[in-house]
Amino acid sequence: MAWQAKVAEAAGKILLGKSIEKDGAMGPIIMIATAALIPVIFIVALFSGGNGTGQDIYEKAFNNIECSQDYYYYLEDIRFFDSYTYPDGVEATDEKKIEERMQQDYFQITTPPGNTSANTFPGQNNQARPLNVCILQSDETIVNTLIIKYGVDENLKQEILESVQQMRNGRNNFILPVANSPKVLGKYGQDKKLKGIELEAPEGTEVVAVHDGVIEDIVTSKDTYYGVNEKGDVVEKTKGLTIVIKHDTILGLNKFGEYDTRIVYSHIPNLQNVKWNVGDKISQGEVIGTNAKKTVYFELRKNEDTAFDPATIMFIESSLASKGDLGLPLENPFTITSEYGKREYAGMSFHHGIDLSKSEGSSIYSVSEGEVIEANNTCDPLKGETLCPSGGYVPWGGNYVLIKSTIDNQDYYIAYCHMSRSLLKIGDKVHKGQIVGYQGNSGNSYGSHLHLEVRKEPGKQENSTVNPREIINFGEQ
């Protein structure tokens, strides 16, 4: 493609004579892409390593701003974007500058009050800290920032957008082997024994491939591994029928600015009803078989013997799920940043809805069938404006839609607020899963998010709203 040639030429100009700090020594690095790689742009990133703790400066900066490790894998995206922000590497290796860029340019950061998390990085002991929800801004927003704030050539915009998406093809396509975001019973490293993830699942649950791949091995074994039972206890288990799938993937850029091309092996024991053969190609999401126990355990390995934490390349527990007749307003993974109920924030004593965030510009979906009784699309999509003239039943809601739905013989009025743009008008009939608009920061809003509010009366909040969790199952938090 022409864009690949352009960026390869541009990257070549900044490669020569540049250096990278690796294991405490400075030396030149030139990245060479071969025909074996998927066609992504050729780029170098100048990042620091070798700090004696096993952390590079991006990991340290991420840790300093107290983001939950659930969002650790965003670091590869940030390294990628930074390779354009500072191609000469001068400020790309400044830890404080990296922190500032993470806070100002890359992340939407929310700290739910009272929550704590234990972040573990290579060479670092567990330590309790506030659980900061760190959601990456949309690619479009980030690239616009690179152009406006850092002087990146506007002609490279489309190339960057296409390239970051291709870079993610390997990483973001990893999914859990069980649908509907099951409860996580055990995580990698638990009790210093677990080498994988244990998920709650009734016996006979369909187990699917976590990524495209090739069946490497199918074996019945009496060997044991450490897992977690349905009560949450770490126990030894027999592997039984186990399948191994080989996945070829590119996970992004590593801490040295090189492409993280990796073969990953998924191991899933205790299966039944497997109808595959060694050598078969399998697609992500295809059913492998069913589980023979009351849980599903899986490991990701770098090679035959070395497991690594799946949370470094995929979401494990931050995804939300809804069961029953109602859908979810955002695609997984997304995060609830503020619950329904009492709160002391920005002069509010009670929060009448639930705030959710994915990334700016993400599609918002109707959770049910219904009819639009109000809609507004007159506000600035990204500028929180208390006095934005939205009017109607939700005057503070910015660009919003209010949909009347009948659920279990009860009429509810569901408001989707603060959108960058709404797509519906009064009188529209809406089906479950239909896009109603896009996540934004309009109206009385203090950051890009979706405020989802459920009322029993359309024009009233007090003694009218109900907790959205009463009708929507958002899964484990």
Q: How much is the pTM?
A: 0.41
3-state secondary structure of 74: helix
352 neighbors 414 (Cβ within 8 angstroms) = no
How would CATH label the architecture of 335-470? Distorted Sandwich (2.70)
Q: Report the alpha-carbon distance of residue 269 to residue 40 in Å, rounded.
A: 35
Q: Do the domains 335-470 and 184-312 match in fold?
A: yes
Spell out the per-residue pLDDT of the chain, length 477, in tens: 333 333 333 333 323 322 223 233 322 222 323 322 323 333 333 333 434 445 678 888 998 988 877 677 678 788 888 888 876 555 557 888 899 999 999 987 876 555 444 444 433 444 444 467 777 777 788 898 999 998 999 988 888 887 776 555 444 457 789 876 577 888 888 888 999 999 989 999 999 998 889 999 999 999 999 998 877 789 999 999 999 999 987 655 554 545 566 789 999 999 999 999 999 999 878 999 999 999 999 999 988 889 998 877 776 653 333 434 688 899 877 888 787 876 544 445 678 899 888 888 888 999 988 899 999 888 877 666 555 666 688 888 889 999 999 887 889 999 999 998 888 889 888 888 888 989 988 888 877 889 999 999 998 888 889 889 888 887 643
| 236 strand-pairing partners | 226
Please report, for the chain, the start and end positions of each structural domain, with discontinuous segments joined by +: 2-170, 184-312, 335-470
Which fold is adopted by the domain 184-312?
Glucose Permease (Domain IIA) (2.70.70)
Report how far residue 29's alpha carbon sits from residue 19's, in angstroms, rounded to the nearest whole number: 6
Burial (0-12, 13-18, 19+ Cβ within 10 Å), 391: exposed
Q: What letter would DSSP give residue 54?
A: S
